[in-house]
Amino acid sequence: PGGRVALVGAGPGDPGLITTRGRRLLAEADVVVVDRLAPQGVLEELDEDVEIIDVGKMPDRHPVPQEQINALLVDRARGGKIVVRLKGGDPYVFGRGGEELLACRAADVPVEVVPGVTSAIAVAAAAGIPVTHRGVARGFTVVTGHEELAHVPHGGDHTLVLLMGVKRLSQTTDELIRAGHRPTTPAAVIERGFLPDQRVTVATLGELAERAAAVGATAPAIVVVGDVVTALQD
């Protein structure tokens, strides 16, 4: 009776980049379900009687399976609770929000999706890189999978944002160059976007993997490839 679920995009990590709608829903929540990508700062303001459930997927811990997260959302909502599922970035950008929506619908639980600031764009911005810029790039592509690299646009005037492991970065850049990207295209690795120790490594596409390895780049990181990488530099 009265239970419901909101899938809230919490933005890229800076607590100021959650939406006002998301903030309001958090203030009303009885239960908040978070993972490691959700900004921790916004949790500090919650009342003590709010149940916080961490389904975080740490690299060396077992993640909570998606089906179990779905079941949890439905269970708490059926118990009459206002449930906020707080997700890093936007719920529909690699956030599995669609799966959680379908699970709630299948259980006849009212569900709302609140878009968020996606990390794919905002982390680049935090590094001083605009994904589009007049006279430089009129479009952009965001991909997670290696299998897509052969099919993305290959001019420096179309920005690529790669959300995939930095471990395989040399394979990634090799694949892009083999598919037609100029090795001289500007590129960047941005580690720990919006955290105090954010680090940006800029190089040409051909040299990026080596440079990233030299500084010991690690996850979480995003990679941006395109002429926009240097568009705002002095």
Binding site for a second copy (CB under 8 A): 9, 11-12, 14-21, 23-24, 90-94, 96-99, 101-102, 113-118, 121-122, 124-126, 130-134, 138-145, 148, 151-155, 158, 231-232
Tokens 């810029």, located at residue: 133
Cα 122 to Cα 18, 42, 78, 157, distances in angstroms: 12, 18, 35, 19
CB of 215 to a second copy, least distance (A): 25
Beta carbon of residue 7, minimum distance to a second copy (angstroms, whole number): 10
All residues at 6 or more sequence positions from 76 whose CB lies less than 8 Å from its CB, including other chains: 3, 30, 31, 51, 83
Do the bridges between strand 31-34 and strand 51-54 make them parallel or antiparallel, or are there none, so unpaired? parallel
Residues with catalytic function: 35, 57
Question: How long is the chain?
Answer: 234
* Nearest-approach distance from CB 95 to a second copy, in angstroms: 8
Of the pair 113, 223, the CB lying nearest a second copy is at 113
In terms of CB distance, is 46 or 143 closer to a second copy?
143
Nearer to a second copy, 116 or 220 (CB): 116
Nearer residue to a second copy within complex by CB, 115 or 206: 115
Q: Is 17 helix (H, G, I), strand (E, B) or coil?
A: helix
Helices 97-106 and 66-78: angle between axes, nearest 10 degrees: 40
Least distance in angstroms from the C-beta of 31 to a second copy: 21
Question: Rounded to an integer, what distance in angstroms lies between the CA atom of residue 184 and that of residue 171?
Answer: 17
128-163 b/e (C-beta count within 10 Å ≥ 16 → b): ebbbbbeebbeebbbbeeeeebeebbbebbbbbbbb
